Amino acid sequence: MRTDTPTPGELAGARFWTTVRVTLGRQAVVLPVMAGHVVWQADQSPSVQVTGLRLPILTEAGEDVIMTGLVGSEGHRVHVECHARSGAAVWDWSMGTYQISQVRRQDGGTIEVTGQLLTAAIADHKYAAAKPVNVRQSALTVLQALAVEDGVRLDWSGDLVARRIPSDYTIGTDRGEAWAALLEVIGAYATFSPHADVRIRPVPEPTGTPVMTITGGVGGTVVDTEITLDRAQIFNHIIVPVKDSDQVAEFAQRDGRYAVNRFGWRSKEISGADVPNLAQASLVARAELTKSLARAVIVPVELIPDWRIEPYDLVRVTVNDVSRMGLVTGVDWPLTHADTMVIDIATEV
């Protein structure tokens, strides 16, 4: 949960607005946001997008941002910043930097911009030939090397430092595929960073104390009907073999509706992970089980924007005095004051 943003109570009655700073090389322009959303989904790649970003086509000086090249999709990046002012406090917080993928002219002297997490820049930059990697390097060193080539700054969690790359790991011509495969091997995910460009964090276990409780019917909160996958799409037992070894790491769900003794064994082997040792295989198995069951049962919740909510936060959902815990696996943050926020909560992880 973020601590640099206001609570819904602190925002009540405050003035709220969003601006963007669009850059290409040394040129930059700051524009007010008229509409838009930042959307993160755990199983989406890139995992974060800025969509429906409505901006004025003219700057304060009367320049057409498209005709002057100030806004475009030729390597342009857009940094999203939220602001709030009340009689008691001032807040400014980042909602990430994105590579612009599309710009469309709209009616009323506006444009609509779509952007993707800056990992898209890594994916778009192809190599002419595969590159071998020193197996003594840490996974973070390799991820940093991939990112820095495209001017992408990373921040990461300290507990990822010791995680190693697989033996025979090679960065192929598709750098985006190499990036995604390495994240999977070390049991991590990428999202936007308030302090850099991309944040790398381990996929968390669904244990501990919830960071907040969301109660249906309170403050306009609407807890929707849960969405459940078909049995064929649900796996409650993950197997990860260790490369060049007879060892395997296994993780199975032991409680809840998808526990193996209730739902039956639904096994999935992660055969292409190329994991070098049992400890890392265990990390991969645990992360894959969490991600698999995160899709099994989703409870969508619509609520007043709470900017503190982050990817994979552990939350408690209460409806009619019945509570259950789950991980946040999807968030739609609105960039205007009048819109509501939507989050997806995986309750069977």
- pLDDT tens sequence across 88-98: 899 999 999 99
Inter-axis angle of helices 278-294 and 175-185, to 10 degrees? 100
Cα angle 76, 47, 20; round to 5:
35
Report the relative pairing of strands 27-32 and 90-106 from DSSP bridges: unpaired
**Is pLDDT above 90 for 220?**
no
What is the mean pLDDT of the segment spanning 340-345?
94
Closest among 158, 135, 115, 121 to 22, alpha carbons compared = 115
Q: Comparing 37 with 216, which gets the higher pLDDT?
A: 37
Predicted TM-score (pTM) of the model is 0.84
Q: How confident is residue 272, by pLDDT bands cut at 50, 70 and 90?
A: low
DSSP helix/strand/coil, 237? strand
Contact criterion met (CB below 8 Å) for 61 and 85: no
Q: From CA 76, how far away is CA 98, in angstroms rounded?
A: 9
What is the mean pLDDT of the segment spanning 186-192?
92
**Is pLDDT above 90 for 181?**
no
Closest among 340, 138, 207, 178 to 272, alpha carbons compared = 178
CA atoms within 13 A on the CB side of 259: 6
